[in-house]
């Protein structure tokens, strides 16, 4: 069965960096776009960004553009989120999600449980 | 950015009731809307895509409708496991993808 397991979260000071990982299994990872979505407890999800199946293209939310970078290693079935220059407002649970193309854009058919990132001094 | 507004914020119903949840988009998204269910401590679960198509394995008591800017998720004959938070998402404009703020369906 499809499994997505995030790791790498923790407490980090403002301005510092953190790298999250998402280990995928149960499906042909290299055939799917992958997304990062974050969620502040009690609020709606916020899309962070995505990467094409082959890693050749990415796009990001304006709130993280220039600070966050998504990459993937298809040989390791792993997705990454490099987060630099972290801010208080980046505090959230970070989920990875599998993207499935639906005509004009992706729906997110499987999500991981997420990893908590807390930015605090 | 397309803003999605969900209503009501909280819906209090009893098992066996029908739940009607709404999602309004700030501009037309045609039928490119998905609905997700999230329970505490769990990942979101895809329920509906294309405004009205149930995802694989989703029970028939869940149905979606709407087009343009107004969408509805209906849950007939509520089961105890249906009490959760529900989110709509649009994918008509993918930069960025956006979600609603959620409707909490709680037991009355």
| Contact residues on chain A for B95, CB-CB shorter than 8 A | 59
| Contact residues on chain B for A103, CB-CB shorter than 8 A | 32, 50
Contact (CB, 8 A) for B88 and B35: yes
User: Residues B62-73: pLDDT tens digits?
Assistant: 999 999 999 999
**Nearest C-alpha in B relative to A109:** B46
Chain A contact for B98 (CB, 8 A cutoff): yes
| Contact residues on chain B for A2, CB-CB shorter than 8 A | none
Chain A contact for B58 (CB, 8 A cutoff): no
**Nearest C-alpha in B relative to A98:** B46
Please compute the mean of the pLDDT values over residues B75-101 and round it to a whole number.
95
Q: Which of A44, A112, A113 sits opposite B99 (nearest CB)?
A: A44
Q: How far apart are CA B76 and CA B108, in angstroms?
A: 16
Check CB contact under 8 Å for A45 and B99: yes
Q: Considering only CA atoms, which of A9, A18, A55 is closest in space to residue A34?
A: A55
User: Residues A39-81: pLDDT tens digits?
Assistant: 998 899 999 999 999 999 999 999 999 999 999 999 999 999 9
CA distance A41 to chain B (A): 10
Q: What is the pLDDT of residue B104?
A: 97
User: Residues B13-54: pLDDT tens digits?
Assistant: 999 999 999 999 999 999 999 999 999 989 999 999 999 999
Question: What does the mean pLDDT of chain B come to?
Answer: 96
CA distance A96 to chain B (A): 10
Contact (CB, 8 A) for B28 and B69: yes
Check CB contact under 8 Å for B100 and A109: no
Check CB contact under 8 Å for A108 and B102: no
Q: What is the pLDDT of residue B93?
A: 87
- The encoded tokens of residue A94 equal 């970070």
Reported in sequence order, the residue ranges of chain B that DSSP labels E, i.e. its strands, are 4-7, 10-13, 19-25, 33-38, 45-49, 53-54, 62-67, 70-75, 85-90, 98-99, 103-107
Q: What percent of chain A has pLDDT over 70?
A: 100
pLDDT classification of A102: cutoffs 50, 70, 90: confident
**Nearest C-alpha in A relative to B47:** A109
> What's the burial of A50, exposed, middle or buried (CB within 10 Å: 0-12/13-18/19+)?
buried
């Amino acid at each position: 069965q499809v499994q997505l397991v995030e790791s790498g979260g923790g407490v980090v000071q403002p301005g510092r960096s953190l790298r999250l990982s998402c280990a995928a299994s149960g499906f042909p990872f290299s055939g799917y776009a992958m997304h990062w979505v974050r969620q502040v407890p009690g609020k709606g999800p916020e899309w962070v960004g995505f990467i094409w199946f082959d890693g050749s293209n990415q796009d990001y939310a304006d709130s993280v553009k220039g600070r966050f970078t998504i990459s993937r290693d298809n040989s390791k079935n792993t997705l990454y989120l490099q987060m630099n220059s972290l801010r208080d407002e980046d505090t959230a649970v970070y989920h990875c999600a599998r993207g499935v193309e639906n005509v004009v854009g992706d729906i997110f058919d499987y999500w991981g449980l997420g990893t908590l990132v807390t930015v605090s001094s | 950015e397309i803003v999605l507004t969900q209503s009501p914020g909280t819906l209090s119903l009893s098992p066996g009731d029908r739940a009607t949840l709404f999602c309004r988009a700030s501009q037309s998204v045609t039928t490119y809307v998905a609905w997700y269910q999230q329970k505490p401590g769990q990942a979101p679960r895809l329920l509906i895509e294309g405004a009205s198509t149930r995802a694989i394995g989703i029970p028939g008591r869940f149905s979606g409708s709407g087009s343009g800017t107004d969408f509805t998720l209906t849950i007939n004959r509520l089961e105890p496991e249906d009490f959760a938070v529900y989110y709509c998402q649009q994918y008509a404009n993918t930069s960025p993808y956006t979600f609603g703020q959620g409707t909490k369906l709680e037991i009355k």
